[in-house]
Amino acid sequence: MFKDAVRALAPQIEDRGIDEIYIDLTELVASDPAGDAADAWARAREIAAAIQRVVREATGLSCSIGITPNKLLSKIASDLEKPGGLTVLREDDIPTRIWPLPVRKVNGIGPKASARLAAFGINTIGELALADEALLIERFGKSYGSWMHEAAHGRDERNIVTYREPKSISRETTFETDLHPVHDREQLSQVFTELCLRLAGDLERKGYRGKTIGLKLRYDNFKTVTRDHTIEVPTGDAEAIRRAAGECLKRVLLDRRIRLLGVRVGALSKPGAQAQPAAAPQPARTPTLFD
């Protein structure tokens, strides 16, 4: 995975998805007493070039990098010289490099906000920076108006977030051939069980249990439905997960072939050293089509 190769060069990474990361280079480029700021920027560029090389080696693909004082500016700068660009942008460069750009280049200003700003004669980031903050607050609300004013000046105090507690853990599979809920019941049941077993293994490895069990189905017409069932005691047990997911299954229509099946555990918690209470005896229930 290319992100592992990047971490070997710069470990302070915020993972933002399959093709986007933020990296804090502060410690890596910190100047010694005899150094200066210019040395730090030069060192940052060297590291960024090395990151581009390891990404190409790992994936065969190019990547664009923006080296700036904060996340907001890096997001903008990474788009300035695509593909494969490496843009260094300092605070002094904001008036010449950032202000001429349209306001929609600021991540967080979408089409609707851009259209409203245009109605006030504000089309570029520079025009937004010169706008009266009080007017922005009046038109867009205190939180969003103040944020737009700060963003237009290139200000962003957000730190790199290197770890986030997951909200849920899931397993799903897409079938090569759409399966019929009746005629392919045995195969669906086997897959259902296997997903729950793998999900329980994921929970055990990561040290989580959860109270909300979810089911996801995608039909042959690509319509997707989800259902949740919350249990009283957090669990990481495959049988308990399957049982709860089976309750979800009772609440969906099984009148079409199935393209995708998934199981999810949410409302996660880490029990630590506490033992999981024994499961209460389960009352008799009506079986579902492939439960």
What is the per-residue pLDDT across 11-23, written as a single tens digit (0 to 9) for each?
A: 888 887 777 889 9
Give the dihedral sign, CA 235/236/242/247: positive
Q: What are phi and psi of 239, to 5 degrees?
A: -65, -40
pLDDT tops 50 at residue 279: no
Give domain 2-152's CATH architecture.
Answer: Orthogonal Bundle (1.10)
Q: Give the model's pLDDT for residue 277.
A: 44
Of 95-104, 171-180, 251-260, 273-282, the range with the lowest mean pLDDT is: 273-282
- Burial readout 26-60 (b: 16 or more C-beta within 10 A, e: otherwise): eebbeeeeeeeeeebeebbbebbeebbebbeeeee
- Which one is the CATH code of 168-269: 3.30.1490.100, 3.40.50.11540, 3.10.20.600, 3.40.50.720? 3.30.1490.100
pLDDT tops 60 at residue 285: no
Per cent of the chain over pLDDT 90 is 73
- Give residue limits of the domains in the chain: 2-152, 168-269
What is the per-residue pLDDT across 61-103, written as a single tens digit (0 to 9) for each?
A: 899 999 999 999 999 999 999 888 999 999 999 999 999 999 9
How would you class 117 by CB atoms within 10 Å of its CB: exposed for 0-12, middle for 13-18, buried for 19 or more? buried
Residue among 32, 3, 33 nearest 19 (CA) = 3
How big is the CA angle at 80 (ends 75 and 82), to the nearest 5 degrees?
A: 100
Catalytic (active-site) positions:
20
Band (34; pLDDT cuts 50, 70, 90): low
The structure's pTM equals 0.60
DSSP bridge partners of 226: 216
CA distances from 181 to 36, 108, 186, 214, 223 (A): 68, 43, 9, 19, 15
CA distance 214 to 262: 8
CA distance 258 to 237: 26
**Are domains 2-152 and 168-269 of this chain identical in fold?**
no
* 276 vs 3, higher pLDDT: 3
Residue among 274, 189, 291 nearest 234 (CA) = 274
Average pLDDT, rounded, for the chain = 88
Note if the bond before 181 is cis, omega within 30 degrees: no
Q: Which helix (H) or strand (E) holds 219?
A: strand 209-219
